[in-house]
Structure formats: C-alpha cells, structure tokens
C-alpha cells in the first residue's frame, strides 16, 4: 500500500477527517468520500445517483427540502445546519453540515458540495444544556412561587397579629390605671415592654414583606412637625424596656427635617435596640442627633467587641442576626429595615467598628 503524500488531493478528499458529498443540480449524489461511507456503513454504489435527502431521517428530509435547498438556491451557501443521516443499520447519526453551491459566470448552479462532521457529542451536550436550562427555569419559577407565598403569608400574619396586640395593649393600659401596689406596677411595666417589642417585630415583618412584594417602604413626609419629640419618646421607651442599660442622648436639631417621623423613630428604635443587644453592658449606648450643613445626622455608638469583617458584609441583609444575647431575641430584620428606611429618605446608613466602639451613622438631606 503506497504511503500517502502531502500533495495527494485525491487522498485528502477520500480520507479527510470529515465527510464530503457532491450533489448534482437535481439533488442527486455524484460523489461521496470514504470517510462518510465508513461512518454510515454504506458503499459508494449504494449512494451514488440517489437523492441526498433519501439518506436523512424524516425530520431531516423535511427540513432539507423546505429550508436548506431553497436557501441554498437563494444565497449559494448554508453553514452549520444540523441533520441526522440514516446509517446502514437504520440508526440516526447526528451531524453538522456546511453546503456551498458551485456556479458558472452567469450565476447558474452547477453542483453543490457538502462537508459533514459528526456531532453526536456536540448534540448531546447541547441537549444537556437545554435540559439544564429548562430545569433551572422550572426550579427558579418554583422558588419564586414559594418565596411569594411565604412573603404573602408573613404579610397576612403580621396584619392578623396587630388586632389582638392592640387589644392586649389596651388591656394593659387599663390595668395600669387600676394598679395599687408596686408589684402590680412592675408587672404592668413588663407587659407594656413586651407589647412594645411585639409591635416592633410585627412592624419589621410587615415592612420586609412589603419590600419583597414590591410595595417598598412608604413615607409620609412632614417638615413642619418637629422630629426631636419623637426621638425623645423612642429613647424613653427603650430605657424603660432595658432598665439595666444606660443610654446617653444628645440632640442638636436646629433646622426642620423633611422626613417621615414615624419611620425615623422606627430606624432609631432598631439601631439603638441593636446597640443594646450587641454592646457591652458596662458601657453606655451613646446617641446623637443633629442638623448640620443641610443634613440630618443620627448616630448610635456602643462599646464591646468589634464586628468581624465577615459579619460586616452581611449586617444589612434580612434575617442576619450575628451573635445576640438570649435576653433579646429577634428576627434579624432590624438593621435591614433601618437601611431601607434610610434609602427611602435618600439617605445612607453606614457602620464603623473598632476595638473602642461600634458606630452606626444615618445621614439624609434636610429637604
């Protein structure tokens, strides 16, 4: 058997690493190389003179006759179309085909050349990708549905809890008016603190649910009403609910603040409550509110261990609680809701943490 030569073009055609077919203008096979014959287990005599479409499966035959052949006639070529040729055993062999028409000077078709590559692995990979994409779509849709149902449930639950809580709060106020002994006053104070804490949790849950369901944090801005009385009230309530902790508050609000006072009170409650939960009990929580250079600034600082860097990156994510003492349980929504309130006011909430202190700072424009 003679050795193949680099300039042997007949050998290059017959034993090329891809299949070749030459078609007459009527679509019948004029020539086919040995590579393709080996792949599909057929002979040249078996294929020569037959229509190329005769060796395609039914889907490939329809696609070739209705799409490939007309487009070839229009533009003279067609690249990377997928077909399934039928082997001698009747099995489909998946291939990728390029087609090119040979034409004379007047543009009249003379023949068509086809180059074919096995595409079994490629088609399998493509099918796996399609299947994976469909599975991902299905999984994502299921997760979204589950998430929406969960958040709708949270919203409904929050609303349903408010009514009985309001009744409990009213009952506690009545008991407070009738309390005769010091012990009774202590019990009433404890109940009031618990009701306040429950109301705070419900507000956070409802705000979170609104945000996830597309409602967002709603604001009722009013620059005419002073903000400082709201801050006093919130700090006093927190002092009442945490009698063992010292809260130092300093106010220098000299200009009107165009804000939702209730929302700012909620932000302050969440930030100071967080400082009480995580700060060392031997050092006071320091609060400062001021207006300066067209800005309203509010800061809360506490002593204790610095926040780890890994936790710093997740502080404002929902349901992140870090390490909190058992005496003050929560859902991990306080800082997240505070950050959303800050954004709703076109402001920003930041945090710094050193061995000396951890400090949260909220800054927003006055108008």
Give me the pLDDT at residue 318, please: 83
Give me the pLDDT at residue 35, please: 94
- Specify the residue for token string 């203008």: 25
CB atoms within 10 A of CB 177: 7
Give me the pLDDT at residue 325, please: 47
CA distance 367 to 362: 15
Q: What CATH code is assigned to 217-367?
A: 3.30.565.10
Best CA proximity match to 344, nearest among 173, 221, 202: 221
**Domain ranges for the chain:** 9-118, 140-215, 217-367
Give me the pLDDT at residue 90, please: 92
Q: In this structure, which CATH number among 3.30.360.10, 1.10.287.130, 1.10.10.10, 1.10.10.60 belongs to the domain 140-215? A: 1.10.287.130
Contact (Cβ atoms closer than 8 angstroms) between residue 281 and residue 303: no
Q: Do the domains spanning 140-215 and 217-367 agree at the CATH topology level?
A: no
Give me the pLDDT at residue 215, please: 60
Long-range contacts of 35-44 (CB under 8 A, 24+ apart): 36/116, 39/87, 39/93, 39/118, 40/85, 40/86, 40/87, 40/88, 40/93, 41/87, 41/88, 41/89, 42/87, 42/88
pLDDT in tens, the chain (367 residues): 667 677 777 888 888 999 999 999 999 999 999 999 999 999 999 999 999 999 999 988 998 888 888 888 899 999 988 889 999 999 999 999 999 999 999 989 999 999 999 987 777 777 888 888 888 888 888 888 877 776 677 667 666 777 778 888 888 888 888 888 888 888 887 787 778 777 777 777 777 776 666 666 888 899 999 999 999 989 988 888 788 899 999 999 999 999 999 899 999 999 999 999 889 999 999 999 999 999 999 999 999 999 998 888 888 888 776 654 444 455 678 899 899 999 999 999 999 999 999 999 999 999 8
Class of domain 9-118: alpha beta
């Amino acid at each position: 058997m003679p050795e193949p030569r680099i300039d042997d073009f007949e050998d290059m055609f017959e034993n090329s690493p891809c299949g070749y077919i030459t078609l007459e203008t009527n679509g019948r096979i004029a020539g086919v190389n040995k590579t393709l014959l080996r792949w599909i287990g057929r002979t040249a005599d078996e294929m020569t003179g037959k229509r190329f479409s005769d060796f395609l499966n039914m889907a490939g035959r329809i696609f070739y006759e209705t799409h490939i052949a007309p487009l070839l006639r229009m533009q003279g070529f067609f690249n990377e179309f997928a077909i399934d040729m039928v082997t001698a055993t009747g099995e489909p062999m998946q291939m990728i085909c390029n087609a090119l028409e040979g034409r004379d000077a007047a543009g009249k078709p003379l023949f068509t050349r086809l180059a074919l590559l096995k595409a079994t692995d490629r088609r399998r990979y493509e099918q796996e990708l399609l299947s994976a994409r469909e599975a991902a779509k299905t999984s994502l849709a299921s997760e979204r549905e589950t998430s929406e149902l969960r958040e709708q449930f949270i919203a409904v639950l929050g609303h349903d809890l408010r009514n009985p809580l309001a009744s409990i709060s009213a009952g506690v106020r009545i008991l407070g008016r009738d309390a005769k002994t010091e012990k009774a006053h202590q019990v009433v104070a404890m109940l009031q603190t618990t009701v306040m804490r429950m109301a705070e949790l419900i507000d956070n849950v409802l705000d979170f649910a609104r945000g996830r369901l597309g409602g967002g944090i709603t604001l009722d801005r009013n620059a005419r009403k002073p903000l400082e009385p709201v801050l006093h009230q919130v700090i006093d309530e927190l002092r009442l609910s945490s009698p063992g902790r010292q809260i130092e508050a300093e106010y220098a609000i000299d200009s009107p603040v165009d804000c939702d006072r209730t929302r700012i009170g909620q932000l302050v409650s969440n930030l100071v409550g967080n400082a009480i939960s995580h700060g060392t009990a031997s050092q006071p929580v320091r609060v400062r509110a001021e207006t300066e250079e067209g800005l309203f600034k509010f800061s809360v600082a506490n002593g204790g261990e610095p926040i780890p860097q890994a936790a710093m990156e997740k502080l404002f994510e929902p349901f992140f609680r870090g390490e909190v003492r058992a005496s003050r349980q929560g859902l991990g929504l306080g800082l997240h809701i505070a950050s959303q309130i800050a954004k709703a006011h076109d402001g920003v909430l930041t945090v710094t943490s050193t061995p000396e202190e951890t400090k949260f700072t909220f800054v927003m424009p006055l108008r």
